[in-house]
Amino acid sequence: MAQTVNNENCTLCSVCQSVCPEGAIKTQADGDGFWVDPTLCNDCVNEPMPLCAEFCQVNAVAKLQPKKGRCKSTLLPPAIPEIFLNGKTNPFASSIVIWESCNILAQRSAVAWQPDDEGAWCYQRSVNRGRGNLKFRLAADPTDADLVPLTASTTQSEDIFADFDIRAACVHLILAAQITTLNQPWQETLVINDQHFEQYLGLDKRRDLTKLERLTLIKSLVYQCCRLFVTVDWPRQGKVPAFLLTEHPVWQLIDTHYYWEEDAEGHNHLIGLSFTIKAGVWAKHFLNKQDYRRHRAFYQYGALPQSLLAEVMSNWQQHEGAVRLLLWLLFKLRLGDQHRMTVRTLLKIAYGADRLTEATTVRGAHKRLLKTFEGDLEAVYHYGLTPIFDAETYPPDIQPMWMRVNQIPDSADEALAFWTEDANHHLSLTDAAPRDKWQRLLNARLCGFELSDEWQQTIKKKSVTRRQTAKPTPAKMTDVIPSDVIKSARQEQQLSQRALAERLGKSQSWVRDVESGRFGINVQDQLLLRTILNLVPDEPATQQDER
């Protein structure tokens, strides 16, 4: 419970302010008294009693009694949501600055931080094959108007993110989605309050947290996002000229407004927060509609699924590696699901280069990392992204057990046929993994991920409708193969779902979902199915010429 200052008894000696280890005691705007920030005050948990109360000679500092009743008041501003209006997705800024900032907030100390020439911790990322560069540094205090970076002399590399939370990446993405509603985000400010964050992050449904605990968490996450500073050295790309942006905040915290409500005893209770934030100068070059049309800037955006925020908020403790992968894949897969990636890269994203090095050098460490990775990959699968294993480098004998178990059909007859075929197969489902699985896994690749509907949704650009001449569409492109026809044709050729999936280069779950009508089939897969199953498209009806 936080402390409070009774300014009627206070002598303005400022002793309490000087001894507070958290800096929670602030001077009032008029200078006539003090107030305690309850989001910073921790009651000096490591001391026998709060230091402010111990050193106050006039007993003006006392424990703030909890507020009775709900924290709903007319003093709070209305919380009208501006994003996720369809309840599923919303556009968000997806430039390289936002991507790398998200990686920093998600991976934290796993990022390669190094001291720069000024003795401050920095992280650098080359772009466009080394022709450009991004440099990130951390601010010691996001409320400080001066750019004061966190120096390497005062902190160790492993202590940089001691107070950081992976959930700050969700706040970062919310801000990236919020600025897409602005016309010129590098000039306009956005005001977002705690009620918005509670709705977007699902904190309004957390009954185990008090109002003050939710406010403290939201303020901490917002401040973590505002501690990132970036320097951009971008080369010429196409018609867009090169540009150099000096160090500036990714998100500039302009003001934090506190909403108070006085109880019957005259004590003020914090009931709300609002933050005034402005995007950095990077938005003028990467989220500029006007100059994008003139080929002088970029306008890079993607679709942010609201379900991703819910997944991060619910699984950030149990499956931190899976959360890191999802946040990274949000940007990696925004142009499509067919992106080849190595397992070694995924391991570095999920657990950091140091842990991967430990697994390859310390005896027995690879077993723990392998088990964790397959569990996190399963969490990604249950979220809705199905990994596509490369048939050559990631064969079924080294694939996770859960992936092979998911291939068991739900139907009793098909399950019986599955186990009968599995018993005669050279690789049985119950066989133990090969001894060289870890070495082979480091060289394995994924061909991509099968995306869910929300991840497949893209925001189409508005364009002027032009009259075009209709082109005849071939019969193969228009005739969609019914699911029952696919199933009957497969059974006629005495092919199991697994055998058909191997010929198609798909998973058995994909074949099962297609036959049940859950998934649609694109044109390339239709042509491949017709070739393998010997399906002839129906000839279009033509009228005979009358003679």
For the stretch 429-475, pLDDT in tens is 666 778 889 999 999 999 989 888 888 764 444 444 445 555 544 44
pLDDT at site 477 = 44
pLDDT at site 532 = 85
What pLDDT, in 10s, does the model give residues 74-98? 667 777 888 898 888 999 999 999 9
Confidence band of 149 (pLDDT split at 50, 70, 90): confident
Judged against a pLDDT cut of 70, whether residue 99 lies above it is answered with yes
Judged against a pLDDT cut of 80, whether residue 101 lies above it is answered with yes
Amino acid, res. 7: N
Amino acid, res. 295: H
By mean pLDDT, which of 106-115, 300-309, 343-352, 487-496 is the weakest? 487-496
How far CA 529 is from CA of 71, 79, 408, 523, in Å, comes to 60, 51, 22, 10
Question: Which residues make beta-bridge pairs with 62?
Answer: 4
Count Cα atoms within 13 angstroms, Cβ side, for 218: 29
Q: What mean pLDDT is reported for the chain?
A: 83
Judged against a pLDDT cut of 90, whether residue 44 lies above it is answered with no
Q: How many C-beta atoms surround the C-beta of residue 354 within 10 A?
A: 13
Of 480 and 244, the structure prediction assigns the larger pLDDT to: 244
pLDDT at site 107 = 92
Question: What is the average per-residue pLDDT within 371-397?
Answer: 92
Q: Where would I find the H helices in 335-429? A: 343-351, 353-361, 365-383, 401-405, 412-423
Count Cα atoms within 13 angstroms, Cβ side, for 514: 24
Q: Residue 340 in contact with residue 443, Cβ under 8 Å?
A: no
pLDDT at site 210 = 86
pLDDT at site 520 = 75
Judged against a pLDDT cut of 70, whether residue 397 lies above it is answered with yes
Question: What is the average per-residue pLDDT within 158-186?
Answer: 89
**How deeply is 406 buried, as exposed, middle or buried, from its count of CB atoms within 10 A (0-12, 13-18, 19+)?**
middle
Percent of the chain with pLDDT over 90: 40
Q: What is the largest CA-CA distance in the chain?
A: 115
Judged against a pLDDT cut of 80, whether residue 414 lies above it is answered with no
Euclidean distance between CA atoms 24 and 35, whole angstroms? 8
Euclidean distance between CA atoms 167 and 506, whole angstroms? 34
Vertex 335: Cα angle to 330 and 336 (nearest 5): 90
What pLDDT, in 10s, does the model give residues 300-324? 999 999 999 999 999 999 999 999 9
Of 219 and 8, the structure prediction assigns the larger pLDDT to: 219
Collapsing DSSP to helix, strand or coil, 432 comes out as: coil
Of 272 and 539, the structure prediction assigns the larger pLDDT to: 272
